[in-house]
Amino acid sequence: MTPGTPEEVLDAVAEALAEGTPLEILGAGTKRNYGRPAEAGRRLSLSRLAGITLYEPNELVMTARPGTPLAEIEANLDRNGQQLAFEPADYGAVLKGAEDRDKTGGATIGGIFACNLSGPRRIAAGAARDHILGVKAVSGRAEAFKSGGRVVKNVTGYDMSKLLTGSFGTLAVMTEVTFKVLPAPDDSRTVVIPGLDDRAALDAMTKALTGPWEVTAAAHLPKPLAQRSWVARIAGANAATILRLEGPAPSVAARAKGLGEGLAGFGTVGELAHADTRALWREIRDVHPLVSPSALGPGCEVWRIAAPPSEATAITGRIAGNLRTQAFYDWGGGLIWLAIGALDDMAATKRAAIVRAAIGEAGGHGTLIRADAETRRTVPVFQPEPEALAGLTRRVKENFDPKGILNAGRMYAGV
Amino acid sequence: MKMPKPDAGVIARRKQIVGALRDIVPGEGVIEEVDELRAYECDGLTAYRELPLIVVLPRTVEQVSRVLAYCLANDIKVVPRGAGTSLSGGALPLADAVTLGLGKFNRILDIDYDNRCVVAQTGVTNLAITEAVEHKGFYYAPDPSSQIACTIGGNVAENSGGVHCLKYGLTANNLLGLQVVLMDGQVIRLGGKHVGADGYDLMGVLTGSEGLLGVITEVTVRILTKPETARAFLLGFATTEAAAHCVADIISAGIIPGGMEMMDRLAIHAAEDFVHAGYPRDAEALLIVELDGHEAEVDYLIGRVRRIAEDNGAASVRISADEDERLLFWAGRKAAFPAIGRISPDYYCMDGTIPRGRLPEVLTGIAELSKRFGLRVANVFHAGDGNLHPLILYDANIPGELEKAEEFGAEILKLCVKVGGVLTGEHGVGVEKRDLMGVMFNEDDLKHQQRLKCAFDPKSLLNPGKMFPILHRCAELGRVHIHRGRTRHPDLPRF
């Protein structure tokens, strides 16, 4: 079904509820393979429920229907020198297993909020959940409701907009989202330190992020992955630790100089200008170093691990001791992108157990982003929750979708 | 203000409950004497008072867990309380409820500079977190005006803001992890020392939930490097329209100041008389615009903001010459509430948020209401994010004047909603704005909020009577109604 109005969404959900037919909720379907395979008898596509309904640049706010293409939103923002500061990633290449860079794009704003996407600027500007202001939705009870509003400061009632952000369509079908937009920086530069091993890179990133330079992104590409960059200076580097600065040009220049001096102890520091900076961080955002082409062959699994930054190299070290892996670091080490080569003689559940045990010691969250459908059905895709929390998650689901008709089982078995 | 009818059965069992709580929290952690209970009878919204049934002050998470499990098993309501600085009655006691005070959870547990975070027990004050890390050049960004007293757990419960949240975000955006005790005594952890956890964003939901979903016992917040420099503009305008236009132009120019505050004439005069900050007395509106960050950036932005202010006809433009002067500029704004307290026996602080561009018409509307109710009003405004704090001046000793002030306040909030804004920006709904929820939300909106409550607290024992005008039973909310007449829609496009 492809409803074109919020009323038609309500009708479609009411019909599914009456029949007991579970629905798979889709935008453009670019992230269908993200999460567990949903149990569905019918598809509900929001691709026709599209369009920007409000954009007030002076108020830093936009409202859009869920099926609005991200490209349309970004084009409108760009005309006003604005952006989505949370820098939503495009997982197209990761999820589709694309071997070429053309199989990306097409994401919708609803999908971006449903999956709570973010990007390298996460450490400075937050994720989708930090930018959503209000939502209109239809719950699994076939009732329309709204939450939040269009202003940044709002504590009127529970923040249900955050609840729906990152809920993968398992609680309600969004029919409208209102979110914060922010000025895009005039200029950007990337400070590059070549040749560091992972541990030294982590120290360099920590130093950069605890100094006065207002670094808006910090990542490290170990040697084999740096060579896959399309930015020549990075491809030629023997590993690259990269630190982004954004803002007015005079500020960026002064901060880059200060940061370079501050990190001189780590080696010879170089700089990338605005155009290369944009290209490079898009690669990091979209996980291209691991997947385009696949670092470990087409059958590799890809994990996204969020953990305390100081634990990053310990986690990757523990996993590498047991599996054939490649990894790079974003968020100053707080995000690890890890690929595991296909090992015919080891069960997927065993591989996952090794990864989760390595994260568990550090207190982090591991999400299996890319794997075949069978693996995603048998291995917990999202970080397994302790029983008290899992019980709460189930009760939230039951209260919003008691008959389990919305993306059933997409996040956890039964949720 | 109508509160849920106290349960006479629970009140009759008071002695027995005291005994059971003493078994869980030995020593002086259970308060039952009226004289001592008096200290807990209200929060920052002092117009409403009620003696709690009992106050319990646990010291450990295990005690909190056992107190809640006991209360659940015995159908006893619980009102969680931090420092009691809520301005909306969020911590107002109930005659048949145990007030669960978290003041003894006052230790910072871990300062982790490499991961840029602090782990604190729930009762640590907001300011104490900054004080614990400032010698290393760090700070905790959200700075509600009560930061010297309010607790970090209370900040989470209310999603507190402050003057710097325009650039640095609210509590929700600076939170990494929580430990929470649920009403059934189970302890859960959300997030950690990292961002980007998956699963439902229950941390986001608990933030701003006003003590209705769980009892927060531990908070992990991110700390930031202190900006290298900060300088403040003091801009006087002949009209509020010109000041509002200046705010819009600054934002349109792509500048997000560290803070951007507006005061109207009455607030300017009251503050100036009180702290002598050098505010222009002839101005109708005053803007304080603070630029912070790297020195090169601040220098550059000062030039741009100055031009924008002049283009908008600012009658006076001053930039702080040094740190003392910057603090003096802020001193007047930060003392605005007590300054109003000097010129009026009582004042009532409102907290609506509006789209910034609607400010002139909302101020005009407030002025008209002021005439209609015969009460003066001073306006203090977080101009950058549209959060208004009209202060209604009244005298509680004049019969009927408090009620008149409340009615005036309700009209202001309705006006905020009418122009696309909301009832409360940072003070919370509590008991104060509970009965206005219907202005913003319809029945189905409120039912879905309460279904979230049912997932956490199905017997509705945590902080009842706050936030929601009508309490539905979870059993009733849980029924699935299949709407008749909504059967097949053959006209729906399908594939």
| Each residue's pLDDT tens digit, B397-429 | 999 999 999 999 999 999 999 999 999 999 999
- Residue A98: pLDDT band by 50, 70, 90 thresholds? very low
- A400 occurs within a structural domain: no
From the number of C-beta atoms within 10 Å of its C-beta (0-12, 13-18, 19+), residue B342 rates as exposed
Nearest C-alpha neighbor of A38 from the set A28, A23, A27: A23
Q: Do residues B324 and B290 make contact, with C-beta atoms less than 8 angstroms apart?
A: no
Same domain, A276 and A337: no
Per the DSSP assignment, residues forming a β-bridge with B112 are B117
| pLDDT at residue A380, rounded to an integer | 96
Same domain, A49 and A118: yes
pLDDT (tens digit, 9 = 90+) per residue, A249-279?
A: 999 999 999 999 999 999 999 999 999 999 9
Same domain, A53 and A68: yes
| DSSP codes, B117-132 | EEEEETTSBHHHHHHH
Q: Do A153 and B357 touch (CB under 8 A)?
A: no
| pLDDT at residue B472, rounded to an integer | 83
CB-based contacts of B87, cutoff 8 Å, min separation 6: B43, B44, B45, B349, B351, B427, B428, B430, B432
| Strand ranges in B351-426 using DSSP code E only, listed in sequence order | 377-382, 387-394
Written as six digits, the tokens of A194 are: 């070549």
Of A59, A116, A255, the CB nearest to B357: A59
Nearest C-alpha neighbor of A210 from the set B109, B463, B468, B226: B226
Average confidence (pLDDT) over A331-337: 98
Percent of chain A exceeding pLDDT 90 equals 90
> What's A56's domain CATH number?
3.30.465.10
Q: Do residues A46 and A29 make contact, with C-beta atoms less than 8 angstroms apart?
A: no
Task: Please state, in angstroms and rounded to a whole number, the distance separating the CA atoms of residues A280 and B245.
Answer: 38
Provide the whole-model pTM. 0.96
- A1 occurs within a structural domain: no
Torsion of CA B335, B341, B347, B353, to 10 degrees: -10
Helix (H, G, I), strand (E, B) or coil at B261: strand
Same domain, A15 and A152: yes
Whether B461 shows a pLDDT value over 90: the answer reads yes
Per-residue HEC secondary structure of B194-250 comes to CCCCCCCCHHHHHCCCCCCCCEEEEEEEECEECCCEEEEEEEEECCHHHHHHHHHHH
> What's A351's domain CATH number?
3.30.70.2740
From the number of C-beta atoms within 10 Å of its C-beta (0-12, 13-18, 19+), residue A78 rates as exposed
Nearest C-alpha neighbor of B379 from the set B315, B284, B275, B309: B284
- A301 occurs within a structural domain: yes
Whether A241 shows a pLDDT value over 70: the answer reads yes
ipTM of the complex: 0.96
Task: Please state, in angstroms and rounded to a whole number, the distance separating the CA atoms of residues A164 and B433.
Answer: 25
Of B166, B422, B451, the CB nearest to A154: B422
Average confidence (pLDDT) over A155-171: 97
pLDDT (tens digit, 9 = 90+) per residue, A59-91?
A: 999 999 999 999 999 999 999 999 999 999 999
Same domain, A174 and A206: no
Same domain, A22 and A92: yes
- Residue A187 touches chain B, beta carbons under 8 Å: no
Same domain, A18 and A148: yes
**More confident: B459 or A297:** B459
Whether A103 shows a pLDDT value over 90: the answer reads no
Q: Looking at chain B, how many residues does it have?
A: 495
- A30 occurs within a structural domain: yes
CB-based contacts of B388, cutoff 8 Å, min separation 6: B350, B351, B352, B353, B354, B359, B362, B379, B381, B382, B412, B416, B425
pLDDT (tens digit, 9 = 90+) per residue, B262-314?
A: 999 999 999 999 999 999 999 999 999 999 999 999 999 999 999 999 999 99
Q: Do B455 and A367 touch (CB under 8 A)?
A: no
Q: Which of residues 217-276 of A touch B (CB under 8 A)?
A: 247-248, 250-251, 253-255, 258
Weakest-pLDDT range from A16-25, A88-97, A134-143 = A88-97
Q: Do residues A150 and A61 make contact, with C-beta atoms less than 8 angstroms apart?
A: yes
Whether B484 shows a pLDDT value over 70: the answer reads no
Average confidence (pLDDT) over A108-135: 98
Q: Looking at chain A, how many residues does it have?
A: 415
Task: Please state, in angstroms and rounded to a whole number, the distance separating the CA atoms of residues B339 and B273.
Answer: 8
pLDDT (tens digit, 9 = 90+) per residue, B203-220?
A: 999 999 999 999 999 999
What distance in Å separates residue A236's CA from the closest CA in chain B?
30
Q: Pick from A183, A210, A231: which residue ends a domain?
A: A183
- Residue A341: pLDDT band by 50, 70, 90 thresholds? confident
Q: Pick from A113, A148, A183: which residue ends a domain?
A: A183
Q: Which of B252, B451, B454, B468 to mutate to test the interface with A (most CBs of A within 10 A)?
A: B451
Same domain, A231 and A366: no
- A411 occurs within a structural domain: no
Whether B494 shows a pLDDT value over 80: the answer reads no
Q: Please give the mean pLDDT across all residues of chain A.
A: 94
Q: What domain range includes position A246?
A: 187-286
Chain A: residue whose CA lies nearest to B298: A251
Sign of CA dihedral A226, A230, A234, A237: positive
| pLDDT at residue A343, rounded to an integer | 67
> What's A226's domain CATH number?
3.30.70.2190
| pLDDT at residue B145, rounded to an integer | 87
Same domain, A265 and A340: no
Q: Do B355 and A210 touch (CB under 8 A)?
A: no
pLDDT (tens digit, 9 = 90+) per residue, A282-313?
A: 999 999 999 877 777 778 899 999 999 999 99
Q: Do B254 and A186 touch (CB under 8 A)?
A: yes
Number of structural domains in chain A: 3
Q: For residue B297, what is the DSSP state?
A: H
Whether B322 shows a pLDDT value over 80: the answer reads yes
pLDDT (tens digit, 9 = 90+) per residue, A397-409?
A: 999 999 999 999 9
pLDDT (tens digit, 9 = 90+) per residue, B131-163?
A: 999 999 999 999 998 999 999 999 999 999 988
Same domain, A192 and A205: yes
| pLDDT at residue B489, rounded to an integer | 53
Residues of B whose CB is below 8 A from A56: 355, 357
